[in-house]
Amino acid sequence: PFGSGRRICIGISFALEALLLILASMLHEFEFQNPSNDEIDMSESPGLTSLKATPLELLIAPRLSSDLLA
């Protein structure tokens, strides 16, 4: 989506850094758990794009109490 060559988007480096910062912040501040404790099914559904056959379900809980975050 950012193009390549001479006409590459100048915002690509900013967008990638912002994406990494957001992902790192989420991984640092939240715990992610599988609600069923079963193995996650990574099979794909047939079609033009690669979609998961079963949706991914996660429980997201803050690592720290709200008193420490404020």
Q: In the chain, what is the straight-line distance between the N-terminal and C-terminal CA atoms, in Å?
A: 37
Please report the DSSP string for 1-45 in residue order: ----GGG--TTHHHHHHHHHHHHHHHHHHEEEE-TT-SPP---EE
pTM for the predicted model, two decimal places = 0.63
Q: What is the pLDDT of residues 15-64, one digit of tens each?
A: 999 999 999 999 999 999 999 888 988 899 888 888 888 888 999 999 88
Residue range 4-10: mean pLDDT, rounded: 81
What's residue 10's pLDDT? 84
What's residue 1's pLDDT? 64
